[in-house]
Structure 1
């Protein structure tokens, strides 16, 4: 049974090539007027505060304000990209490398065997990777989601500001 069965198109003869650059049509309804109102663009520009873990010219890593659990971090490109599949390959690699470094720090800080890294883009239409320390095999889903189900999920509670500052400082020191 095929997991992926492409439909016929003018490009149907193309084979999957992860090194090729493929033009992907933009989803206009999410792009219109989003840059000036984008939460993550504002954080990247320093217009909104964040508990920063890592920053360079292209990417920023900071703690999620509504974490699945303590230490839950986000890695974003400073440049606005709505979908993770629209990230230039070099930028996606840079974000993944940063997430790997954060994962290593989380393993030390939280004494966990695994750290999850995933893209969702559900709440903020700006490509971002989640990096979450895993204490259990089903640990990348919040307890509220598991309890409430996918149709009635509420945002996880915020961790107190003092704790967020301590966690960000500890992860920065451990990188």
Structure 2
């Protein structure tokens, strides 16, 4: 783990988060600046800065966790599609995003580039109570699937 990485600090429970799923390899939690309600992140519990550095079992666990979350999101929001993508843009640790797609443009860069290509605008952060309620909804759907 890395002492300065925010995701490592979250994985160690040094920082609060709205956990959705956790096992020995990965942790899934709500994004604090969601594209849409339910937008989740999946991180490895070990620090891997680059996607290609992920050991195959960790990469597979991130993918299978994403699939479980996608099924839960489809059940909760009634969406046809759920986006899954890896990034490492804002935090120097590989992480996956899982986003229920209410609109076909939910995950395009246009949502982030409203200020132009040289700027970045974070989506607004919902209140903690709203995030807690969203986390409960997803965990309920996950429990139904088990």
Flag whether TM exceeds 0.5 (same fold): yes
Which residue matches 1:88? Answer: 55
CA contact (8 A) 1:117 1:131 kept: yes
* Correspondence 1:94-109 to 2 at 5 A: 94-109=61-76
Give, in whole Å, the separation in 2 of the partners of 1:37 and 1:111: 38
Q: 1:144 touches 1:153 (CA, 8 Å); kept in 2?
A: no
1:68–1:141 Cα contact (<8 Å) kept? no
Give 5+ residue unaligned stretches, structure 2. none
Q: TM-score, normalised by structure 2?
A: 0.92
Q: Aligned partners of 1:123 and 1:146: how far apart in 2? A: 14
Q: Moved runs in structure 1, 4+ residues, more than 2 A?
A: 141-144, 146-150
1:81 and 1:112 map into 2 onto residues whose CA distance is 32
Q: Cα distance, 1:84 vs. partner?
A: 1.1
Q: Report what 1:68 is aligned to.
A: 35
Distance (Å, rounded) in 2 between the aligned partners of 1:141 and 1:153: 13
Is the CA contact 1:83–1:126 (under 8 Å) kept in the aligned structure 2? yes
1:142 deviates by 6.4
Q: How many pairs were matched up?
A: 142
Please list the CA deviations of residues 9-49 of structure 1 after superposition, one character each: whole Å capped at 9, or x if unmatched. xxxxxxxxxxxxxxxxxxxxxxxxx8111000000000000
CA distance in 1, matches of 2:102, 2:22: 27
RMSD between superposed Cα atoms in Å: 1.4
2:21 is aligned to 54
Superposition deviation, residue 96 in structure 1: 0.3
Q: Does 1:153 align with 2:120?
A: yes
Q: CA deviation at 1:146?
A: 4.6
Question: Which structure shows the higher strand fraction?
Answer: 2
- Report the alpha carbon displacement of residue 148 of structure 1 after superposing the two structures with TM: 2.4
| Structure 1: runs of 5+ lacking an equivalent | 1-33
Within the candidate set 98, 105, 120, 1:138 is matched to 105
Displacement of 1:149 in angstroms is 3.0
SS of equivalent residue, structure 1 residue 98: helix
